[in-house]
Each structure stands twice: as structure tokens, then as C-alpha cells.
């Protein structure tokens, strides 16, 4: 029997008869093997404690619930006395809720609560006793650093919130809880700093999350299309970003952003996001400003190389050989004469092969994934050049492109697509095709705004439109003595708008 049928047959309310209540609860769960219902007598009154296997802590239940009930059983009492004892001060729990229906009891059980039913009382009490296994706090996988914190957000939402709160011991940091997913009822948390973001924005984000009609919310990426306001046709870049790092999350909140955390995933969604933030790392703020300036310029150059170098190469060799020196041109001609494919086809094939090797390295177990991608690349590349299928310069171009793409991992999907589009544009129209491609991408990025909860910020801020105050943390980083004087919020960027109805600060 399905859950829906079970729910319809038992109705909505609880029953005074304990046996009927227990039977209805079992019917909702379809006699699921992980449903535990323990019966006990308290002063002669029959009671039942329901929990789900692995969702509650047996030790906590013994201390918080069973021990007080056994002590109370020495006194004479009726059903109402026992219920008042459980619902009142007799049972200590960090979170205690009154339950009025079987469906509500079932939802609380799935969230790690234990529910106590008393015979003769048309009500129940749920106590917080979560004790499910969770992954220990580990290092971030996708945002490695040298000198900063090495803690990453956890799969457990409560653990992630504790990691964030520990770094910002201020009541201005707020966590607003809600649920999403028609079937899963996943806990979703909206994090913000009350003095930095309008409360109207937070309310709109909460409403957007509650309107999600997906049956399951299993990843943080599932909520991004719903929390971002509609932003024109097919933006190439995203107005939201994700992070595993609690320190990065707090820094973004301090700039007036909103973060959304989903229970079960260690990634937090941050919006609105800007293009320049893809080139900033935690280690930039550990080094001297001039060295941070140098490393950021390396990342900008690496992004350009990873996106457009193959297209520029095929456009130069195929359409504009006059820009090359005579010796270099003769070397390229000699290399390409022995290959059976056109230059653009060579590049396209080798780029696809590189993406296959990269995907294999990611999906295989970590112990062998790196070795497979490196060894596979060496073997395939050497064999392809030796057999004359591809030329050596092509392999050098792809090697430089691949290395550059690893420098800016947050833009890897975009650079992958741009590489392929660049080969097509450069291979068909030369430099003109590359110019058209770059113009289209630039216009697309310029038209994009990070829009969340009515707050809209141009994606290319603070460069376009120009915000002079915001430039201090774009291609360089100012010193901390100057940074402590004021923090630029995303709302302060030129071109930003706030359409939320309530522009008051968070309460």
C-alpha cells in the first residue's frame, strides 16, 4: 500500500485509543522495517514511544525519556496526568512539540524525533532526539587552500550551521528554517546578516523555496533555478554560486548576500554572485596585496587561455598565417602535412578526448582516478602524435589549455563550452568568428544580473557599470587597514536595484 493510500485511510487526527493510533501509524509507514514502536506502562497507563531506526539516539532517549517515565511510574496517575507530565517539565528536551495528527507525527519521525502516545489522550508529544550517523567535518574538496581554515560544511545541516555560527558570534547572523520537496520535506536554511540585507529579500527567498514542487530536494543545485528571479533568455553564466567553506560563506553574507543551505549536501548556495568572484581565493587574503594582485592576474589570463586559445590557434593557422613568423609557420606546416584531418577537426577531437579523460578521473575512485587520467593522457597523446593522427603543436596547445582550466575551477563548465565554440568559430570564420564569439559572450554576461528576492546586481559589477569603491577587491586587494573602514555591499553597486516590498532591515 502506498503512503498516500495509508494516509487517506487513517484520517488526519489522533485517536484516544492507543491501539488504534499505533495501527494507524503503522499503516502510514506500510509496516516499514525501520519503524520502532516500544510499549510501556506508566503508573498503569499504557504508552507507546515511536521512532525510526537510525534516526534517533537510543542513549538520548534513555536519559531524556525512559528514565523520567520510570521514576514517575511510582506515583498514581491517570492518562491526563501522564500526558501533562510528558508535555510539561517532566521530560527535558531541547525541542518539544505537541502533535495533533498521525501525518504530523509521521513527518516528525522522519526528521529524527521520537513521538510519545498516551492511551486515552487524543494528542501526542514529539521530542528532539536526533542521533543519525553523519560524516565528520572534513577539508573542502573543491576549494583547496594553504593557509586558511581547512574545515568544510557538512552533509548535516545542523553541523554546518554550528560551523558558521562559531565564526560569527553575533545575533545579527540569522538562520531562517523552512522545508522543500513535496515528498522529502527536506530542511532548507536561509542564512543572512540582518544589518546587511533587506528583510524583504529574505522573505521573498523563503516564499520561493516554499513554492518548489519537486518531489525530492537532494542537492543544493536543485534550489538555484527557483530562488533566482527570471533573468532573460539563456544566461551563459550563473547568478548564483556554491561554496563548501564556512569562512567564504560568512564573507559573502557580510557583503549583503543571502545563502541557502540544504540538509544532506555540504554545498551552500550564495546569491547574488559576481563574475570577478570566480578569481578570488581565500589565500589572497593571507598574502601581501601585491602578491594577491599578481595571482589574480594569472587567473584572469588562465581563464582567457582556457576559453579561447584553441580557437585563436586554429584561426591563426587556418586563416591568418601572416601574423606568424616564417620559421614558426614552416614548422606548423610541416607538422600538419602528415595528419589526415583538418586543423579544426584535430582540435575538436583532442578536446573531446581530454574531456573524456577528465571525466574518467573524476568518476573513478580517488586512489586511481588521477593515475588513470595522467597515464591515459600520456599514452593516447604519444600514440596519436607518433602515428600521425594529430600534430605535436596541437598537443602542446591542448596541454596549455587544460592546465589553465584547472586554475579557475569554478568556471570549468563555461570554459569547456567556450573551447568548443571557439574551435568552431575560429575554424569557420577566423579572427572574425572569434571576435563575434567574444562579443556575444560579453554582451550575454553584461545583460545578466544576479537576481534573488527582488535584489538585482549586475553580473559584471563593479566593472560594468563602474563602481569605483568596488574595484579595491577585483584585480588587486587593498590592505586590511583600509578594508576595515567600510565594507561594500552588493546592494551599493551601481546598477543594483531592490524590488522587494519591505525594504526594512531584518528583525
DSSP per position, 215-261: S---SGGGTHHHHBPP-SS--SS-S-EEES-HHHHHHHHHTT-EEEE
Residue 101 DSSP symbol: B
pLDDT of residue 232: 60
| Spatial contact of 72 and 40, defined as CB atoms under 8 Å apart | no
Q: What are the start-end ranges of the E strands in 119-251?
A: 124-128, 173-180, 186-193, 241-243
SS3 category, 209: helix
pLDDT of residue 433: 96
Of 326, 335, 329, 321, the closest CA to residue 395 belongs to 335
DSSP per position, 6-38: HHHHH-SB--SSHHHHHHHHHHHHTS-TTEEEE
Within 10 Å of residue 230's Cβ, how many Cβ atoms? 7
Of 382, 17, 26, the closest CA to residue 9 belongs to 26
Q: What are the start-end ranges of the E strands in 107-214?
A: 113-118, 124-128, 173-180, 186-193
14-20, Cβ contacts within 8 angstroms, sequence gap of 24 or more? 14/99, 14/100, 14/101, 14/102, 14/105, 14/117, 14/122, 14/123, 14/124, 15/122, 16/119, 16/120, 16/121, 16/122, 17/119, 18/46, 18/47, 18/48, 18/117, 18/118, 18/119, 18/120
pLDDT of residue 231: 61
CA angle in degrees (0–180, nearest 5) for 63-68-71: 130
| Spatial contact of 146 and 283, defined as CB atoms under 8 Å apart | yes
List residues bridging with 128 in a β-sheet: 113
**Cell reading at 339:** 595528419
In degrees and rounded to multiples of 5, residue 344 shows phi and psi of -65, -40
pLDDT of residue 5: 44
Of 353, 354, 340, 347, the closest CA to residue 317 belongs to 347
d(CA 66, CA 71): 9
Segment (H or E) for 92: none
Parallel/antiparallel/unpaired status of strands 124-128 and 96-99: antiparallel
Of 471, 492, 32, the closest CA to residue 256 belongs to 492
Displacement of CA 190 from its chain's centroid (Å): 12
Helix axes of 289-319 and 392-405: crossing angle, nearest 10 degrees: 150
DSSP per position, 263-289: TT-S-EEEES--GGGGG--GGGGTS-H
Residue 459 DSSP symbol: T
Residue 127 CB-half CA count within 13 A: 23
In tens digits, what is the pLDDT along the chain, a chain of 507 residues? Answer: 344 444 444 446 788 899 999 999 999 998 889 999 999 888 888 999 999 988 888 888 888 888 888 777 655 678 888 888 888 877 887 788 999 899 999 989 988 899 999 999 999 999 988 877 677 788 888 888 888 888 999 998 989 999 999 999 889 999 999 999 888 889 999 999 999 999 999 999 999 999 999 999 999 989 999 998 876 666 899 989 999 999 999 999 999 999 999 998 999 999 999 999 999 998 888 888 888 889 999 999 999 999 999 999 999 988 998 888 888 888 888 888 888 888 898 899 889 988 888 888 888 877 776 677 777 777 777 888 888 888 888 889 998 999 999 999 999 999 999 999 999 999 999 999 999 999 999 999 998 888 888 888 999 999 988 888 888 888 888 777 777 666 788 888 888 888 765 444 444
Amino acid at each position: 500500500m502506498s503512503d498516500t493510500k495509508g494516509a487517506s485511510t487513517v484520517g488526519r487526527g489522533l485517536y484516544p485509543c492507543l491501539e488504534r493510533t499505533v495501527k494507524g501509524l503503522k499503516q502510514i509507514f506500510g509496516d516499514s522495517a525501520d519503524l520502532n514502536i516500544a510499549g510501556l506502562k506508566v503508573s498503569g497507563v499504557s504508552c507507546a514511544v515511536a521512532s525510526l531506526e537510525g534516526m534517533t539516539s537510543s542513549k538520548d532517549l534513555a536519559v531524556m525519556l525512559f528514565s523520567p517515565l520510570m521514576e514517575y511510574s511510582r506515583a498514581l496517575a491517570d492518562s491526563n496526568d501522564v500526558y501533562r507530565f510528558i508535555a510539561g517539565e517532566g521530560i527535558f528536551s531541547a525541542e518539544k512539540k505537541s502533535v495533533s495528527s498521525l501525518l504530523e507525527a509521521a513527518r516528525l519521525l522522519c526528521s529524527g524525533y521520537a513521538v510519545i502516545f498516551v492511551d486515552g489522550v487524543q494528542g501526542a508529544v514529539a521530542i528532539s532526539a536526533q542521533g543519525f550517523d553523519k560524516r565528520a567535518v572534513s577539508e573542502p574538496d573543491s576549494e583547496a587552500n594553504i593557509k586558511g581554515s581547512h574545515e568544510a560544511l557538512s552533509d548535516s545541516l545542523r553541523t554546518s550551521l554550528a560551523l558558521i555560527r562559531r565564526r560569527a558570534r553575533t545575533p545579527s547572523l540569522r538562520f531562517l528554517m523552512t522545508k522543500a520537496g513535496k515528498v522529502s520535506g527536506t530542511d532548507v536554511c536561509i542564512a543572512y546578516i540582518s544589518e546587511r540585507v533587506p528583510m524583504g529579500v529574505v522573505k521573498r527567498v523563503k516564499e520561493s523555496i516554499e513554492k518548489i514542487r519537486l518531489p525530492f530536494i537532494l542537492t543544493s543545485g536543485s534550489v538555484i533555478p527557483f530562488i533566482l528571479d527570471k533573468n532573460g533568455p539563456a544566461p551563459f553564466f550563473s547568478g548564483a554560486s556554491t561554496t563548501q567553506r564556512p569562512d567564504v560563506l560568512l564573507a559573502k553574507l557580510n557583503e549583503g548576500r543571502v545563502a541557502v543551505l540544504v540538509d544532506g549536501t555540504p554545498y551552500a548556495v550564495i546569491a547574488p554572485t559576481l563574475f570577478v568572484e570566480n578569481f578570488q581565493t581565500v589565500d589572497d587574503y593571507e598574502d601581501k596585496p601585491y602578491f594577491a594582485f599578481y595571482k589574480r592576474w594569472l587567473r584572469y589570463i588562465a581563464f582567457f587561455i582556457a576559453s579561447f586559445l584553441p580557437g585563436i590557434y586554429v584561426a591563426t593557422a587556418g586563416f591568418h598565417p601572416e601574423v606568424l613568423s616564417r620559421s614558426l609557420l614552416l614548422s606548423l606546416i610541416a607538422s600538419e602535412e602528415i595528419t589526415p584531418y583538418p586543423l579544426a577537426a584535430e582540435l575538436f577531437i583532442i578536446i573531446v578526448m581530454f574531456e573524456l579523460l577528465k571525466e574518467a578521473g573524476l568518476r573513478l575512485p580517488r586512489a586511481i582516478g588521477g593515475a588513470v587520467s595522467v597515464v591515459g593522457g600520456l599514452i593516447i597523446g604519444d600514440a596519436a602524435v607518433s602515428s600521425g593522427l594529430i600534430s605535436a603543436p596541437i598537443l602542446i596547445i591542448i596541454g596549455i589549455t587544460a592546465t589553465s582550466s584547472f586554475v579557475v575551477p569554478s568556471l570549468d563548465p563555461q570554459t569547456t563550452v567556450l573551447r568548443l565554440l571557439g574551435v568552431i568559430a575560429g575554424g569557420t570564420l577566423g579572427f572574425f568568428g572569434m571576435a563575434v564569439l567574444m562579443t556575444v559572450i560579453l554582451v550575454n554576461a553584461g545583460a545578466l544580473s544576479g537576481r534573488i528576492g527582488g535584489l538585482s546586481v549586475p553580473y559584471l559589477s563593479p566593472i560594468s557599470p563602474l563602481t569605483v569603491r568596488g574595484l579595491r577587491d577585483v584585480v588587486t586587494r587593498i590592505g586590511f587597514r583600509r578594508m576595515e573602514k567600510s565594507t561594500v555591499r552588493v546592494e551599493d553597486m551601481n546598477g543594483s536595484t531592490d524590488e522587494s516590498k519591505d525594504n526594512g532591515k531584518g528583525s
